[in-house]
Each structure stands twice: as structure tokens, then as C-alpha cells.
Amino acid sequence: LDRVDIVLQRPGPNELPFFDHPISSLFDLLTVDKFLRLFTCFLLEHQILLCSRSFQRLMLVAESLCSLAFPFRWQLTYVPILPYSQLKFMEAPVPFVMGLCYEDTISEQIFQGNICVLDIDSGVLNMPEDVPALPDRVEFAKEIASVLMRYEEQNAVLDGEVVRRQTGITEKDGWYKKRMSRSFDGETLSDMLEEDNSFRQIVSRKDLAPLPFDDVLKQSEVLAR
């Protein structure tokens, strides 16, 4: 077998860890302010229950919390997908992050407990009592919103450039392709000729240089005869 070099690289101390999902997808599900309140409970090691009908959404929010806490690590109970039949684990008197995948509705008893409950699908967030606000939360929320806006603008520019490259046909090239296809899509011949004339450069006879007939005749005896 040929030798294969496998390189393992970990993020530097000032870099975010590798993540399988774009962080912007998180803010497609939650507003910036709602995420900051959820993240405050996460940093204070509260009991957090995430609810959704989608396994993907549960994993996205749970993994985003852990990733954005870098360089800190969540070393307590972490069950991003908890079966509905195992709700008894919510009675554990320890901080946890759990994800509950439900089918129809969420039991009202879950919202009555003093835990942080987020229904990702509906956007309902139930906060525990006496949770302090994140310092400078308003300024922090504006900064995050500004970064997301710049990210969307850059994506819009890149998407537009890709579309132009994929469909990069100039007006002139488009006309000749249509002409060669023998299908004018209902356009009359006069319209096509008028469009063709717009691409041609009309030169007056006065601007044409006289042909050097004398030199040609001197160089060719056949033409001279």
C-alpha cells in the first residue's frame, strides 16, 4: 500500500473550533436577543431544555451553544437528543443541556419548572427566575446584527457573481445563439434585422481609403492583362 500522510490540526488559541454548520443558520431560527438570553443561561450553567420536531434543529442549537462558548467547555450533562420516553432524566438536580424531539405538542408541565425551555419551532423561550442580563447586551446584539448583515451582503454579491458566470451570455451572443437555433420565439424578421443592425458599425463611403489598384496591377501580370 502507498504511504498516506494524515494531518490532524486543531484550532489555535485565538480561533473558533471547527463546526459542521454555518453559524448564520442558528440566527435563521432565533433572533439575536433571544439567543443572547439563552446563551446567558448556558454560561451560568442552568438547566436548559431545547424542544423541536426536527433532530437537525436540536443538534444545530445545542452544538452552536457549545461551539460559541470556546475556549470554555460544557463539561456537565449533555444530551442533545433525548427520547420522549426518557423525560425522567429532566428531574436530575444537576445542570444539563438536553434536546427533546416531540411529535405534536409539548407538555405544559415542562414550562412550569424553573428551567430554561426553548421551543425552537415556535420561538417560545421560558427563562428561569432571577437570571441576570448579559452585560452590555444591547450593544452586543447590535454588533452581532451588523456582522450578520455584512455576511448576508457578501453572500448576495457572491451569489450574483456565480449566476452571472453561469449564465454569462452577452446581449450580442444571445442574439446569435437565437439566430442559429432557427427559433425566433415569435419575433418577426424585420425585428431581428433591426437588432442585427444595432451591432454593426456603419461606415460611410467617404471614410473608406481608396484601394491601391496601381500597386496590385504592377505586382500581378495576370490581372494587368
Secondary structure in 3-state letters for the chain: CCCCCCCCCCCCCCCCCCCCCCHHHHHHHCCHHHHHHHHHHHHCCCCEEEEECCHHHHHHHHHHHHHHCCCCCCCCEEEEEECHHHHHHHHCCCCEEEEEECCCCCCHHHHHCCCEEEECCCCEEECCCCCCCCCCHHHHHHHHHHHHHHHHHHHHHHHHHHHHHHCCCCHHHHHHHHHHCCCCCCCCHHHHHHHHHHHCCCCCHHHCCCCCHHHHHHHCHHHHC
145-164 pLDDT, tens digit each? 888 888 888 777 776 665 56
Residue 221 has pLDDT above 80, yes or no: no
Thinking of the domain 23-126, which architecture would CATH place it in?
Answer: 3-Layer(aba) Sandwich (3.40)
Confirm whether pTM is higher than 0.85: no
